A and B are shown apart, each in its own frame.
Chain A
Amino acid sequence: MSVITLDHVTKKFGDSVVVNDISDEFRDGEFITLLGPSGCGKTTMLRMIAGFEKPTSGEIRIDGKVVSSADTFVPPEKRELGMVFQSYAVWPHLNVFANVAYPLKIRKVPKAEIKEKVEKVLEAVHLSQYAKRMPSELSGGQQQRVALARALVAEPKVLLLDEPLSNLDAKLRERMRFEIKEIQARLGINVVYVTHDQGEAMTMSDRVFVINSGVLQQVGTPVEIYRKPENQFVADFVGKVNFLKGVSENGKIKLDGIDGTLDYSGEITGAVDVAVRPENIRISEENAHFRGKLLSEYFTGDTNDCRITAGGNELRMITDAATYKHFSDSETIGLYITDFIVFPASDSDFRKIMT
Chain B
Amino acid sequence: MSDKKPEEKEGPVQVLQTPVRLEYVFSAGQSASRLLGAMAKGKLLGQRCPVDGRVYFPSRGSCPQHGVPLDGAPVELADKGTVATYSIVRIPIEKVPLELPYVTVQVVLDGADTVLMHLLKCDVDKVHMGMRVQAKWKPREEWTSSVENILYFEPIDEPDAPYDSFKEHI
Q: Do A and B come from one complex?
A: no
